[in-house]
Amino acid sequence: MKAGIGVHSQYIIVGKDPTLLNDGERHFIKTVLDFFAGSDKLVPNNINGNFIPEVRMMEAESFYDRQAFIERIYALVYANVIAA
């Protein structure tokens, strides 16, 4: 994976043709995305609170930091899709 590939969530095109889905389908998708957005806000807290304090290796801490960062990007992407 190229460095920084996940930080460009604002470039994901959503809502290009809103007529492709009916209201029920849009509601269902937004409900599922809302669940994932909320869950992906909890994952970094879990990583920072439960995993990083247990690890004494700098490489592992760096991995967990990166994973927490990626989870925050996921939450941001879901929020952007929901808002579209």
Answer whether residue 6 shows pLDDT above 80.
no
Task: Point out the residues that are catalytic.
Answer: 78
**Cα gap 43→63, rounded to integer Å:** 14
Q: What's the predicted TM-score (pTM) here? A: 0.67
Question: Where do the domains of the chain lie?
Answer: 27-83
pLDDT tens per residue across span 29-74: 889 988 988 888 888 888 888 888 888 899 999 999 998 888 888 8
List, in order, residues 6 or more apart from 47 with CB less than 8 Å away: 64, 67, 68, 71
List, in order, residues 6 or more apart from 45 with CB less than 8 Å away: none
